[in-house]
Amino acid sequence: MKFLRNLLDKQKPAFEKGGKYEKLHPVFDAFETFLFSPNHTTGSTGAQIRDAVDLKRMMNTVIIAMLPCLLFGMWNVGYQHHLATGKAADFISQFLIGAWAVIPVVIVSYSVGLGIEFYFAVRKGHSVNEGYLVTGMLIPLVMPPTIPLWQVALATAFAVIIGKEVFGGTGMNILNVAMTARAFLYFAYPGQMAGSNVWAYLGDEKTVQGYSGATALGIVAETSAKLSEDKTGLPFANAGVQALTSDAWIKGLFSDWNLFIGTVPGSIGETSTLMCLIGAVILIFTGVGSWKIIVSGFAGTYLMALLLNTLAINAFMAIPAHYHIVMGGVAFGIVYMATDPVTAAHTETGKWIYGFLIGAFTVLIRVFNPAYPEGIMLAVLLMNVFAPLIDFYVVDANKQRRKNRLKYATL
């Protein structure tokens, strides 16, 4: 540590005002504050007490909360690889193969995103914000394991520039940056982002016979569409669950237990509901993520699914409500994306509404729009846009209530 400190102190004057690399001060500052706690002091006026929990520590907490998903995702990529190629392998080699597929995506996401962040910081002359540390980890976790690296780079650049920097950088963005990256790829290159051929990392190896890479959501959506077209008037009850059992290419692949643990094909970090819940506990326990958004998000998903169960005009609607929570990326989206403090609702009542609607819209999009088997991405982006409006009405209602109180008091 002493060595690092000395090294930094030696270089410092060159980056100070009047130094040789004055322009690059934000770059130096970013490295220094990344390694050591900042020694900035408060001004002589205004607040004098500063909390040790700064933006950097908050972001690091989120990254720690994401680690279970990342590690599990790496293992699962290897596990799916060996399932698809029909080879037996032990835990370590599964993990290594997964890491081989996942780590390049993480590196590309971080280097492109941080490169752009540094460029804008130097250009605008402000310090580099830590916001990207989380985004850079979220982006790989919402990509399929087979994603081409240049697409990751392109999506990251798009999301950081168009999603964040044009609005003024960290803290000013309207849309969740990682979801913007995913949405960009989803609409720009659907061939590499959706369908049934992208969810298992194969390398150069051949798949076993009978292999199908469809996700649980894909299978249910397809079954639902098929049954609606047939119009045979079959009872829909259980058709979705039956399809999950019968259409899985390995027996029992899509049992609700597997879906919960996450040993199913899907985006790198999204498959495991269990790991997302562990992350949620870390976020809630440290107070970094809003428990209101997480709880109301799951409640919204579950209650909307229950409501649709009673209507049940297609097979997707009839699927038991708890399947909606364990299938796809709804848990990941609610825990890590919806709780993004910048793009979520800011008022406490607003958070309940915001989270609930994310869950509800996710189920609605899944069930009613066969073109989008997964709804959490669009639901989060939609509610990001509506979050300021929710806040506006919550604040407005509060004003109205206080005004009324005043009116009665003066009567």
Does position 162 interact with other proteins (CB under 8 A)? The reply is yes
Q: Which is nearer to other proteins, 166 or 234 (CB)?
A: 166
Q: How far is the CB of 182 from other proteins (least distance, A)?
A: 12
Q: How far is the CB of 180 from other proteins (least distance, A)?
A: 11
Rounded Cα distance between 87 and 73, Å, is 19
Q: How far is the CB of 329 from other proteins (least distance, A)?
A: 21
- Contact window for other proteins (CB under 8 A) among 101-109, 187-195, 258-266, 357-365: 187-195
Q: Which is nearer to other proteins, 190 or 341 (CB)?
A: 190
Q: Which is nearer to other proteins, 125 or 190 (CB)?
A: 190
Q: Which is nearer to other proteins, 38 or 190 (CB)?
A: 190
Does position 166 interact with other proteins (CB under 8 A)? The reply is yes
Amino acid in position 239: A
Q: Which is nearer to other proteins, 79 or 184 (CB)?
A: 184
Choosing from 31, 119, 189, 368, the residue that interacts with other proteins (CB under 8 A) is 189
Rounded Cα distance between 58 and 39, Å, is 18
Q: Which is nearer to other proteins, 176 or 296 (CB)?
A: 176
The interface mask with other proteins, positions 313-332, x = CB under 8 A, is: --------------------
Write out the chain in H/E/C secondary structure.
CHHHHHHHHHHHHHHCCCCCCHHHHHHHHHHHHHHCCCCCCCCCCCCCCCCCCCHHHHHHHHHHHHHHHHHHHHHHHHHHHHHHHCCCCCHHHHHHHHHHHHHHHHHHHHHHHHHHHHHHHHHHCCCCCCHHHHHHHHHHHCCCCCCCHHHHHHHHHHHHHHHHHHHCCCCCCCCCHHHHHHHHHHHHCHHHHCCCCCCCCCCCCCCCCCCCCCCHHHHHHHHHHHHHHHCCCCCCCCHHHHHHHHHCCCCCCCCHHHHHHCCCCCCCCCCCHHHHHHHHHHHHHHCCCCHHHHHHHHHHHHHHHHHHHHHCCCCCCCCCHHHHHHCCCHHHHHHHHCCCCCCCCCCHHHHHHHHHHHHHHHHHHHHHCCCCCCCHHHHHHHHHHHHHHHHHHHHHHHHHHHHHHHHHHHC
Q: Which is nearer to other proteins, 118 or 189 (CB)?
A: 189
Q: Which of residues 210-249 bind other proteins (CB under 8 A)?
A: none
Rounded Cα distance between 359 and 275, Å, is 19
Does position 371 interact with other proteins (CB under 8 A)? The reply is no
Does position 187 interact with other proteins (CB under 8 A)? The reply is yes
Q: How far is the CB of 190 from other proteins (least distance, A)?
A: 6
Length of the chain measured in residues: 411
CA distances from 261 to 76, 171, 378 (A): 10, 34, 24
Does position 191 interact with other proteins (CB under 8 A)? The reply is yes
- Contact window for other proteins (CB under 8 A) among 77-85, 91-99, 139-147, 182-190: 182-190
- Contact window for other proteins (CB under 8 A) among 114-122, 186-194, 200-208, 364-372: 186-194
Q: Which is nearer to other proteins, 188 or 202 (CB)?
A: 188
Binding footprint of other proteins, residue count (CB under 8 A): 8
Q: Which is nearer to other proteins, 184 or 352 (CB)?
A: 184
Rounded Cα distance between 156 and 114, Å, is 10
- Contact window for other proteins (CB under 8 A) among 2-10, 104-112, 189-197, 327-335: 189-197
Q: How far is the CB of 359 from other proteins (least distance, A)?
A: 25
Does position 190 interact with other proteins (CB under 8 A)? The reply is yes
Q: Which is nearer to other proteins, 187 or 408 (CB)?
A: 187
CB-based contacts of 317, cutoff 8 Å, min separation 6: 224, 236, 308, 309, 311, 367
Q: How far is the CB of 187 from other proteins (least distance, A)?
A: 5
Choosing from 28, 110, 132, 184, the residue that interacts with other proteins (CB under 8 A) is 184
Q: Under a CB-based contact definition with an 8 Å cutoff, are residues 288 and 177 in contact? A: no
Q: Which is nearer to other proteins, 183 or 219 (CB)?
A: 183
Q: How far is the CB of 162 from other proteins (least distance, A)?
A: 6
Q: How far is the CB of 176 from other proteins (least distance, A)?
A: 17
User: Binding residues for other proteins, per CB under 8 A?
Assistant: 162, 166, 184, 187-191
